[in-house]
Amino acid sequence: MVTMSKQELLIEIEYRRRELIELGLIIGLTSQRIIQLSQELDQLIFEFQELIKRNNSE
């Protein structure tokens, strides 16, 4: 697994969020692809939170 920096994670989170919104408007929010993208976004947000938590404890 490649570890991303805080800035890289923020950029990726924003990209995925916009992709999720735009695609959701086109194919609907219950589409399997939307669910998959949402889970990927959740994972990125979790990784960001963990990175922040690690940085605060150092």
Say which amino acid occupies 37.
L
Provide mean pLDDT across the span 19-28.
96
Q: How many domains does the chain have?
A: 1
Q: Is residue 13 part of a domain?
A: no
Say which amino acid occupies 30.
T
Q: Is residue 53 part of a domain?
A: yes
Q: Give the pLDDT score at 2.
A: 64
Are 41 and 17 in contact, with CB atoms under 8 Å apart? Answer: yes
Q: Is residue 18 part of a domain?
A: no
Mean pLDDT computed over every residue of the chain: 93
Integer-rounded Cα Rg, in Å, for the chain is 13
pTM over 0.75: yes
C-alpha 20/C-alpha 17 separation (Å) is 5
Q: Give the pLDDT score at 1.
A: 53
State which residues form the domain around 44. Answer: 29-58
Provide mean pLDDT across the span 32-54.
95
Q: Is residue 33 pLDDT above 60, yes or no?
A: yes
Q: Is residue 42 part of a domain?
A: yes
